[in-house]
Amino acid sequence: MEQGIATPASSRADALNRGTRIASLGLGANAVLALVKGIAGIVGHSYALTADAAESVADIGGSLVVWSGLRVAARSPDYDHPYGHGKAEPLATAAVGLLLCGAALAILIESLQSAIAPHGSPAPFTLVVLVLVIAVKATLFRTVLRVAADVGSRALAADAWHHRADIVTSASAFVGISVALIGGAGWEWCDGAAGAVASIIVFINGMHILRPALHELMDGAPDREMLDRVSAAASGVPGVRFIEHLKARKLGNQYLVDLHAQADPAMSLDAAHILSGCIKTAIREAVPSVQNVLVHMEPYHDTPHGDAGRQ
């Protein structure tokens, strides 16, 4: 006997809509910052700042992907997608990670070329631009990361770390330009070297974002602590003798859980049905991020089970 229960669709949609709004904010900020840094980099003769502007253009692409992914993930289940559209979120996350890695490699190549064949010294006003950029990006990072934690969105968290990567590139550009200005003639190569250092850090951030997204797309198991909480909640329901074959996978910002629950063999079908409902309620109360619970009721036999609870 198998039963399922789902969380109210409105609460999940509200969370995803909130994520969409904050992603739109990041998109607008990235567009303005990319324009400011691009103009300042060209006028101020700073390759590090121009490369930073290119990274912000990649940010725009990332924010667009996250915004689109969250909009799709917010759609209600339909005939073609009975479990909903939650996979759009890790797809968007993976795309952001790939964009970061690609942008990092492009910046690295151009920065090394600039360091080998340096141009003239950058203008001092580029430092002021970078300070403003870092301040804006730091605010965006904290805001987006907080909302991502509130709604349980990995795609939004990836967008937040994208903002953090921009802070790193801007800070590196600030250091490189400062050294080039203080050192004077012969130190112009620091401008390009700063871009190279920043590109490596951006690439690492891209891989940090990409790996968990791929894990989720492959229906990888959630962390052990989450499974332990589900197992403890189910095992604590009166009448449950044993829990086995516990599995879970992430779908958007929620989890789908499957398990086998063993109970008294003499229990009636109606009583077993009621017990399965109690198991689902207990799990949902202990782990609110669980969207759906599928319980398969089985008769309990007093035989060794070993580690079957995690099969």
Task: Write down the domain spans for the chain.
Answer: 10-217, 224-310
Contact at 8 Å (CB) between 231 and 104?
A: no
19 vs 46: CA distance, rounded Å: 35
Specify the pLDDT at position 258: 95
Q: Residues 220-266: pLDDT tens digits?
A: 888 889 999 999 999 999 999 999 999 999 887 788 999 999 999 99
117 vs 110: CA distance, rounded Å: 11
Specify the pLDDT at position 279: 96
Q: Residues 280-308: pLDDT tens digits?
A: 999 999 998 888 899 999 999 876 554 44
**Tell me, which fold does domain 10-217 have in CATH?**
Alpha-lytic protease prodomain-like (1.20.1510)
- Tell me whether the CATH fold assigned to 10-217 matches the one assigned to 224-310: no
Q: In what order do the strands lie in the sheet with 242-251?
A: 2-3, 290-299, 254-263, 242-251
Select the more confidently predicted residue: 58 or 139: 139
User: Residue 123 carries which side chain, given as an amino acid letter?
Assistant: A
pLDDT above 80 (res 276): yes
- The pTM of the full predicted model, rounded to 2 decimals, is 0.62
Q: Residues 7-52: pLDDT tens digits?
A: 444 555 666 667 777 777 777 887 888 888 888 888 887 766 777 7
Q: Residues 179-228: pLDDT tens digits?
A: 888 877 777 677 778 778 877 877 887 888 788 888 888 888 888 899 99
CATH of 224-310, one of 3.30.70.1350, 3.40.50.10140, 3.20.20.100, 3.20.20.370: 3.30.70.1350
Contact at 8 Å (CB) between 210 and 97?
A: yes
